[in-house]
């Protein structure tokens, strides 16, 4: 915890002196959390996932924000932050929980937020599916109604 406080103090001082501006702070915080994940043992204990999640989520947000600031280079589609967040949770699954989880829920829980964020990204970006957006919306509504029907 002492290392975390020192790192936050150094980052706050660097921000006040003007060394960190804009999206750079997200990348540095992401590297700090990922560094802490590796420093405290990575996959050796299940509880270390608490350092991995913010590191990957901050990296995804940094990439999404940074791609909007660079004109002409990488133009991600609007609403791509949801896809990047889904990728972050899928990376949590691949890096940590798939290996260190001790039962099915502790191994596969990152797939649930990844799936929800991926589905929300597809729904939020109607140009992704073109004219099939209405079909997908109707399918989701019908699927929800089927799940809500009383069992015989």
What does the pLDDT look like over 89-100, one tens digit per residue? Answer: 999 999 988 888
Query: What pLDDT shows up at residue 130?
Result: 64
- Enter the DSSP assignment of 97: I
Q: Quote the pTM value.
A: 0.73
DSSP class of residue 132? G
As averages over each run of 10 residues, the pLDDT of the chain (152 residues) reads 76 75 80 88 83 92 79 67 91 88 85 89 71 72 82 65
SS3 25: helix
Q: What is the pLDDT of residue 64?
A: 85
Residue 86 pLDDT: 92
Q: What is the pLDDT of residue 133?
A: 66
Buried b (16+ CB within 10 A) or exposed e, 128-147: eeeeeeeeeeeeeeeeeeee
């Amino acid at each position: 915890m002492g290392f975390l406080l020192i790192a936050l103090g150094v980052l706050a001082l660097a921000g006040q002196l003007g060394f960190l501006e804009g999206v750079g702070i997200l990348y540095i915080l992401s590297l700090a959390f990922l560094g802490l994940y590796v420093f405290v043992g990575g996959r050796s204990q299940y509880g270390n996932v608490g350092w991995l999640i913010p590191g990957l989520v901050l990296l995804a947000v940094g990439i999404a924000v940074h791609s909007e600031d660079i004109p002409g280079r990488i133009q991600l589609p609007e609403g791509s932050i949801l896809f990047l967040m889904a990728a972050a949770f899928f990376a949590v699954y691949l890096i940590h929980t798939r290996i260190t989880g001790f039962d099915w829920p502790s191994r596969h829980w990152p797939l649930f937020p990844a799936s929800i964020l991926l589905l929300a990204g597809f729904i939020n970006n109607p140009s992704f599916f073109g004219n099939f957006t209405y079909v997908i919306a109707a399918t989701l509504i019908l699927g929800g109604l089927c799940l809500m029907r009383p069992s015989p």
